[in-house]
Structure 1
């Protein structure tokens, strides 16, 4: 099966609305439980950040879809400036 993603692509888990936006790190070798061989082209290591903690997990490429949203992993909130009335 051909590789669907490359390092740096933004992905989400297919079929779930509340999943975080993740970035693909690399393809990783994983043993296929049915055939017993090692699969180098189907499993991805992805990273995302939740509440300041770095999360890393391995997903099969068919469970992921490419995200249209791109950008940084951190969400930044800008606070409104206080205006003085002097």
Structure 2
């Protein structure tokens, strides 16, 4: 089965609204318990942050969908503009 994602892609779990968007770290090998073979092309290690704590989990690529929104893992707020006192003074 071909790989659907690459490192750095933003994904979500299909049908789940509780898990935030995650970033793909890499494909990881996973041993099949029934057959005993090692699968290198189907399982992804993903990372996300919840309440400032880093979470990492492994998901099958068919359970993930790519998200359109991209960006950092942290919520950021715009900084207020710095104001200069010297620009407003008239001489």
Q: TM-score, normalised by structure 2?
A: 0.82
Question: Within 2, Cα distance between the matches of 1:34 and 1:43?
Answer: 16
Deviation >4 Å, runs of 4+? 78-81
Question: Within 2, Cα distance between the matches of 1:57 and 1:73?
Answer: 15
Quick check: which has more Rg, 1 or 2?
2
Helix, strand or coil at the partner of 1:62: helix
Residue in 1 that maps onto 2:50? 50
Q: How many residues align?
A: 81
Residue in 1 that maps onto 2:22? 22
Question: Within 2, Cα distance between the matches of 1:15 and 1:35?
Answer: 29
Residue in 2 that maps onto 1:68? 68
Q: TM-score, normalised by structure 1?
A: 0.86
In the TM superposition, what is the alpha-carbon distance from 1:8 to its structure 2 partner? Answer: 0.1
Check 1:36–1:14 CA distance in 2 against 1; reply closer, same or farther (3 A cut): same
Per mean C-alpha deviation after superposition, the further-off stretch among 16-25 and 72-81 is 72-81
In the TM superposition, what is the alpha-carbon distance from 1:62 to its structure 2 partner? Answer: 0.4
Residue in 2 that maps onto 1:77? 77
Helix, strand or coil at the partner of 2:16: coil
Gaps of 5+ in 1: 82-86
Q: What is the CA RMSD across the aligned residues, in angstroms?
A: 1.6
Question: Within 2, Cα distance between the matches of 1:4 and 1:65?
Answer: 9
